[in-house]
Structure 1
């Protein structure tokens, strides 16, 4: 293991949402937080050095993106995903969710139907509802421990007039990395029914072999014209607080309309440090990411091997992301009872499955992007609480 990923760094009192909201969210300071999707690992040394150097300059005026930043992005997409894009296709944004808000406002009207695949990242619901669009669910099907897409339902919903489809790939929280075949089926239906594809691919760089992330827009020239692909270095390199992302929008008219929408909301550029971090991460972070991927695989193997023989919990093994979807339905607890059990008995703070939609009832999401020692502590707390519960029922 790489020493950098073994070090336990105290994040308390740094305004870290994961650690400094523990008592507020879970009712006690002794709960181990394993929830929000950031990492307990330091960013690459190349990033921290670049940020320090920029800080030493001491002037933080308005900052622009330029051809060097564009090149960092296009080179990364070529290197990591074999996707060759044009510089002109890029539109920068503070965050993927910000971009999705703008896309919904740009490409749909009030009352239009927007599809999501549930259970899914909670802001997707907000994006649809807050702009007064109709939420359409394409519920994922759990088959033999793996989620699948109900394509028959997808087409039936498309026939009823869906205007846009928000794709999550790799999927949060179920961890699927959609295959070429699955992506091509989605594309075929979206082209047939003229549905815009809004792809959240923020976890694209975090995939376990032999799985491979394929940007959906890279598969078909026709779909380029009705897609917005949202990506970012923030999940990959633990830079979420720096708020930097970009969208790949080949359609010139869509790109222009979305840029105008950003300006209408007073969003005119990225923050200085976010730009610096993006460039350093993409240009110099390859080896760090390789090491991180190895560590995440070790952590995931520990979680799965520790829990796989149990009859009171099931692990939905992810193909990508550092988020693991845990199935507690065998406990026959209500969601409130499950939440209370984890907080008060296991003393671990997880993401409540119900926040990902009704389809998350009986589930919880755990974040394993933390030193293995803390992963072990969290899983052992969980096992001890489950064992104690069994004894009490005997």
Structure 2
């Protein structure tokens, strides 16, 4: 087994990197250490890069289709990673999960309909709803024993005849929870009772730490499978976000057909050559790399927890069950959200503001652990130095 080096620094400046080359635009400071947008600083795995280089040897980049091996790679990965047997006929395409969310909202709801969003949550959820002329129905998560869980009583009190869809983040971003089968079952049954279509963003499903198990929503029951769409991609796990390739798993044939029609009219169904090849390489050759990545990320999280406990105990990170995105409560410092963000930027670090994820994210910041240990250590040093003052 090849040993991968996640401590190796990679020069990302000068590549039109959103994370690095847009720092001045987003933070007013081109020198901050960027631990914000959710891509990693590690090299995209060699088996993916080799597949792309091999294809580049052929000097025609014309129209292509997704080969049977592409669909088989997804099916095999779902079976081996999640014990989920899926069929080729369930697999559709999307140029990114967020694009898929928008297309699904356009397909299965009408303007003015309510779409349930459970905050704090990945902020493009809000834009996907409001940008398509729908209405956000906020069902805030509740905190129990240091982790979030669903507030079903609140949801029951808010559902109306206009409530048509629920956007689920599974595993959860930014909190990093791995929803249990019991939690998902209770939520899914409530949606079935009220004829609410569930759309499950499971892009972080392969970034689950030891001791936790991801449950794809569609595996809850056959009835739930017929009432949901699962959105996945290799991009977070294998650092290929720039290839804009994701896939949707839609077991319900009627829903599948309607979505495919929406996708094909603007010719979004074709995808791109390199995204298809990267996905196939990731899902056929990527398990060893994924395991080593998770070990490194666990080490980064443990390092951060110990560092904060010693140097800034007022900052309380939520226990991370999945993802490489740490959710840290800074409310004990007594700063407003703007004061906290401004102070950190002045101190030379850039995170995501908690309020981006919903008003109940106030007091929090999201920190990207997908970086070298030395980068993380420097970021924590800067953070502690400026906040201690």
CA positional deviation for 1:136:
0.4
Q: Distance in 2 between matches of 1:141 and 1:294?
A: 29
Q: Distance in 1 between matches of 2:153 and 2:76?
A: 38
Which residue number corresponds to residue 331 of structure 2? 329
Q: What are the superposed Cα offsets for residues 138-171 of structure 1, whole Å, 9 maximum, x if unpaired?
A: 1011233211211111222235542100000111
1:246 alignment partner, SS class: strand
1:191 alignment partner, SS class: helix
- Matches for 1:183-262 after TM superposition, within 5 Å: 183-262=184-263
Contact 1:304/1:317 (8 A) holds in 2: no
TM-score, normalising length from structure 1?
0.96
Contact 1:184/1:219 (8 A) holds in 2: yes
Contact 2:93/2:269 (8 A) holds in 1: no
Contact 2:117/2:168 (8 A) holds in 1: yes
Q: What are the superposed Cα offsets for residues 180-208 of structure 1, whole Å, 9 maximum, x if unpaired?
A: 11011111111111110000000000011
Contact 2:4/2:289 (8 A) holds in 1: no
Q: Distance in 2 between matches of 1:2 and 1:317?
A: 27
Which residue number corresponds to residue 318 of structure 1? 320
1:268 alignment partner, SS class: coil
CA 157–2 in structure 1, closer or farther in 2 if over 3 Å, else same: farther
1:142 alignment partner, SS class: strand
2:159 alignment partner, SS class: helix
Contact 1:96/1:231 (8 A) holds in 2: yes
Which residue number corresponds to residue 130 of structure 1? 131
Contact 1:311/1:330 (8 A) holds in 2: no
Matched, 1:297 2:291: no
CA positional deviation for 1:259:
0.8
Count of aligned pairs: 387
Question: Which range is displaced more, 69-78 or 183-192?
Answer: 183-192
Contact 1:35/1:367 (8 A) holds in 2: yes
Which residue number corresponds to residue 380 of structure 2? 379
Q: What are the superposed Cα offsets for residues 252-275 of structure 1, whole Å, 9 maximum, x if unpaired?
A: 111111111112233131100001
What are the ranges of 5 or more consecutive residues in structure 2 without an aligned counterpart?
none
Q: Distance in 2 between matches of 1:71 and 1:337?
A: 50
1:51 alignment partner, SS class: helix
Contact 1:139/1:150 (8 A) holds in 2: yes
Q: Distance in 1 between matches of 2:326 and 2:372?
A: 15
CA positional deviation for 1:379:
1.0
Q: What are the superposed Cα offsets for residues 293-337 of structure 1, whole Å, 9 maximum, x if unpaired?
A: 110010011011111354421111221000011111111111111
CA positional deviation for 1:2:
5.1
2:5 alignment partner, SS class: helix
Matched, 1:156 2:157: yes
- Matches for 1:111-150 after TM superposition, within 5 Å: 111-150=112-151
RMSD: 1.4
TM-score, normalising length from structure 2?
0.97
Which residue number corresponds to residue 58 of structure 1? 59
Q: Distance in 2 between matches of 1:64 and 1:22?
A: 37
Which residue number corresponds to residue 341 of structure 2? 339
Question: Which range is displaced more, 104-113 or 22-31?
Answer: 22-31
Which residue number corresponds to residue 358 of structure 1? 359
Contact 1:93/1:269 (8 A) holds in 2: no
What are the ranges of 5 or more consecutive residues in structure 1 without an aligned counterpart?
390-394
Contact 1:308/1:315 (8 A) holds in 2: no
Q: Distance in 1 between matches of 2:31 and 2:160?
A: 51
1:256 alignment partner, SS class: helix
Which residue number corresponds to residue 392 of structure 1? none
Q: Distance in 1 between matches of 2:55 and 2:6?
A: 25
CA positional deviation for 1:28:
2.0
Contact 1:115/1:137 (8 A) holds in 2: yes
